[in-house]
Amino acid sequence: MPEPSYDSQNIFARILRGEIPCRKEYEDEHVLAFHDINPQTPVHVLVIPKGAYVSFADFAAKASAQEIAGFWRAAGHVAAGLGLDAGGYRILSNIGADGGQEVPHFHVHIFGGRRLGRMVPKAPEG
């Protein structure tokens, strides 16, 4: 999939630069995790890399092994820190137009705190 160029004015880039506040859950050299502003579940946290990657596809293709390992290790650490290991949770990333991605900086959603049901609706909306 061809990747659009990275828009440094996207909202998550602005959060990373400290221009917009967030409810921070975790931060390290590779990753920032913060609570979604419009939570869909009792626990809804976003994990983003600090590097400028448009989507998962861009991250998977271009990030260093250290960044990739650091990202997923941190995502697991965040989920555990949120108390989700016992009950379970879901990690999801929307990619591009068909994936319904709104913010063009790679992120995963961590959803938890209740039974989440089906992975996706039976038929696409619209």
Catalytic residues: 107
* Contacting residue, 4, 7, 19, 20, with ligand AMP by CB under 6 A: 20
- As measured in angstroms, the least distance from the Cβ of 109 to ligand AMP is 6
Q: Count residues near ligand AMP (CB under 6 A).
A: 12
Q: Are 34 and 15 in contact (CB under 8 A)?
A: yes
**37 part of the interface to ligand AMP, by CB under 6 A:** yes
- As measured in angstroms, the least distance from the Cβ of 100 to ligand AMP is 5
CA dihedral 75, 98, 39, 88 (to 10 degrees): -50
**9 part of the interface to ligand AMP, by CB under 6 A:** no
Of 45, 44, 52, 49, the residue nearest 73 (C-alpha) = 49
- As measured in angstroms, the least distance from the Cβ of 28 to ligand AMP is 19
How far is residue 109's CA from residue 72's CA, in Å, rounded to a whole number?
Answer: 12
* Residues in Cβ contact with 15 at an 8 Å cutoff, skipping those fewer than 6 apart: 21, 22, 32, 34, 48
Under the rule (CB under 6 A), what is the footprint of ligand AMP? 11, 20, 22, 36-38, 46, 94, 100-103
